[in-house]
Amino acid sequence: MTPILLALLAATIEPIPYTTPDRLPDAAHLLSPSRIQLGGWLGNRVALNEKARLLNVDVEPLLAGYRKKPGSHPWIGEHIGKWLHAATLAWANTGDPALKAKLDAVVAELTACQEPDGYLGTYVPEERFGLFRGADWDVWSHKYNLIGLLTYHQYTGDARALDACRKMGDLLIATFPARRSILAAGTHQGMAATSVLEPVVLLYRATGEQKYLDFARYIVTSWDEPNGPGILARLAAGKGVDEVGNAKAYEMLSNLVGLCELARATGDRRFLDPVVHAWDDVVANRLYISGSASAAEHFPKAHVLPNGVGANIGEVCVTTTWIQLSMQLLRFTGERKYADEVERAAYNHLAAAQHPAGSDWCYYTALEGRKKYDAHITCCHSSGPRGMALAVQEAYLTTEIDGRTAVIVETRETSRATVPTAVGDVVLDQRSEFPRVGRSTITIRTPKPVALALSIPRPWWSPRQTVSIRGSSVDLKIRPNGSVLMTSDAWADGTEIQINLDLGLNVIPGGVSNPDRQALAWGPFVLAYDEARNPGGPPARAVGLLPVERAEPKPGDALEFAIPVVGKDPSKPTTAAFVPFAEAGSTGGAYRVWLRAPGVPLAEAASLLAYAEESRSRGGNVDGSINDGDPESFVVTFDDRRPRGGEDWYAVDLPAPARVGRVVFRHGKTFHDGGWFDASKGRPRIEVRREPGGPWEAVGELADYPATDATHVPDLAPGQAFELKLKEPTSAVGVRAVGTPASGDAPGQAFSSCAELEAFSE
């Protein structure tokens, strides 16, 4: 079925209005996804999200835990609700009958699993809702079933879905606090369980039943119970998000989204103002230039923004929920800063976590290192598609200006918006050369002259914007922020509006978090140096920028730029290919966003192996580095098998011989199923290669490595160092550590890990 036909089918899909009105009115309103067709670069990613991911997800493992309890892991129940949410929005956008058929089948299967008391989870009866040990993700799974089924009901009118939500809501009310505080039913000081606030408020909005609003208020008061997260109280007192609860980012942001819905339902700004404070705090102190937050899934201290793989930054669940929160505040206020952050996240960290083919996702996405895409069932693989589906609705918003319907044109991509007006549907058809050129033309299609206002915001990444109009007499005003407001009581069919932006290369200073570094951006796209696109070029960790004032995209379909750089030798500048962070690493290469600023020398490395060519016996599933000077960045050899020959090795090859007198191996990370060397048959040994391509020769063993075995988890700290001092220094062009990997509690496989392999002359 062609995209045009799908769009025509989608044109009739409108959400059911809520039973209760907005008590705190929105300044900007979302259009139904069916009224927006998004093309261009981001539109392609959105389309792939539907076709390559949502339509092809095997839902059987997601439903299995409901059919036969218990589920395979404690939070397996969250995935089907997340899929329903994303897939419903995607279907509303395209009208794809195949996706609708899959949605209908999943809803029928899921609701058939609901028990008479309303329970729709994956736990056995004696371990439900945190009333028993190990059941602390049960409310969380009900939360996502509520979100998914309420969204499905909103766009289909399916009464069965709403009835299932009522039953879940009634069960929650009967359980909390009658049997126990809801804080005891979720991890992270109860923030996981209390994030059910959002769909509980939406259930009230959909039914008008006061008991659900009363329950939402109870959830908020529970935060102030002993050992509670104190979300409202701490934020209202001006605390940073790192001082709220245990600073767990995903769960906290989910609660803040719920507070926005509660403010909208009640009209009480006490629920909203602390959310605005939290959002401002994240932007000022904890947001990456790629539009995401979190390290190791928590909000760090102010300006502590590690970039590497080992820091586990930018969890996809955080990125998606950050987009949700920013869209909530954009709706409330219409303020530019919220739209800016949705755009920043969508074009960068969200898209960077999605494989360009659209099917696989990363869990975390570092700003330097290698990306690990896969198709696993994880919270992030279920959250990312929701973020992509939500991004559609930010492209065009509506509001009212001087009594006229007004359209806010947020996107500069080729796109189409169908806007309801007093004279019928008016179409804004935008044809764009973005992201290669900052020029687009909007053509208005209207059945008769129409009173309308158009707001064309100036994007945060463009210093200037000009607009010209042909075909209608229009009152045009340029606001102080560079946005253009156009009003007319008689917009004519065929009117054309041309928008011109300064789309160019921007240099971003590293500031407090990345001193002596710079990053580059093209419009909203953060750029990255990708080793795989620069064969023969310097390794990413050795690249330094040279002064650059402008650049243009290379010819071809890919968005790629030629940028002057230096490597290890500053006297030998070269030109390197840079691509959007969203594309970097997609072919397996190491990449880096923050690079040495012009004139900053490459740090003098004590280790002889720094910046040289590294390798290991097996690729593993963690892609850090073993010679980047960062012991938090590590690699493993895990491939769910035992190694051929029984041993693992980690090697660094030098471009020229060096005098080696001492070698240090730093342990990576210990896991329940391996990550260390089994020393029961001999401690790890160090080998050297004396000439390129020559044999490896043992020069000693790491005598201070503990007496480990294959199965018992040792007490090894991440980055812990073990040393071999050679009897006499030797000339080498390669150094490697070799040992037998451990299996832990999974004897069918074995793997090891390494954080750093270092060599010194003395």
Residues 73-82: tens digit of each pLDDT: 899 999 999 9
Tally the residues of the chain.
762
pLDDT bracket for residue 630 (50, 70, 90): confident
pLDDT bracket for residue 11 (50, 70, 90): low
pLDDT bracket for residue 10 (50, 70, 90): very low
The pLDDT score that the predictor gives to residue 628 is 83
Q: What average pLDDT does the segment 313-334 reach?
A: 97
Sheet architecture: strand order including 415-421: 36-38, 415-421, 424-432, 439-445, 496-501, 465-470
Q: Which CATH superfamily is domain 613-760 in?
A: Galactose-binding domain-like (2.60.120.260)
pLDDT bracket for residue 515 (50, 70, 90): very high
Above 80 in pLDDT, residue 604? no
Please report where in the chains the tokens 């190990």 appear, as a residue: 134
The pLDDT score that the predictor gives to residue 83 is 98
Lowest-confidence segment of 168-172, 265-269, 504-508, 568-572 by average pLDDT: 568-572
Above 90 in pLDDT, residue 693? yes
Per residue in 726-762, pLDDT (tens digit) is: 999 999 999 999 999 999 999 999 999 999 999 999 8
Q: What average pLDDT does the segment 108-131 reach?
A: 96
Per residue in 50-73, pLDDT (tens digit) is: 999 999 999 999 999 999 999 998
The pLDDT score that the predictor gives to residue 131 is 84
Are 712 and 678 contacting, i.e. CB atoms less than 8 angstroms apart?
no
Written out in words, the top-level CATH class of the domain with range 3-28+36-394 is: mainly alpha
* Neighbouring C-beta atoms of residue 249, cutoff 10 Å: 28
Above 50 in pLDDT, residue 2? no
Q: What average pLDDT does the segment 12-30 reach?
A: 94
Q: What average pLDDT does the segment 499-503 reach?
A: 96
Are 353 and 373 contacting, i.e. CB atoms less than 8 angstroms apart?
no
| Residue 387 dihedral angles phi and psi, to the nearest 5° | -60, -45
Above 50 in pLDDT, residue 1? no
Return the CATH fold of 397-501. Answer: Maltose phosphorylase, domain 3 (2.60.420)
Q: List the chain domain ranges.
A: 3-28+36-394, 397-501, 505-596, 613-760
The pLDDT score that the predictor gives to residue 117 is 98
Mean model confidence pLDDT for the chain:
95
Q: What average pLDDT does the segment 592-596 reach?
A: 97
pLDDT over 70, % of the chain: 98
The pLDDT score that the predictor gives to residue 5 is 39
Higher pLDDT, 518 or 479: 518
Per residue in 376-412, pLDDT (tens digit) is: 899 999 999 999 999 999 999 999 998 899 999 999 9
Nearest partner of 294 among 344, 361, 329, 248, judged by Cα: 248
d(CA 498, CA 431): 10
Question: 530 pairs with which residues across the strands?
Answer: 591
d(CA 501, CA 414): 15
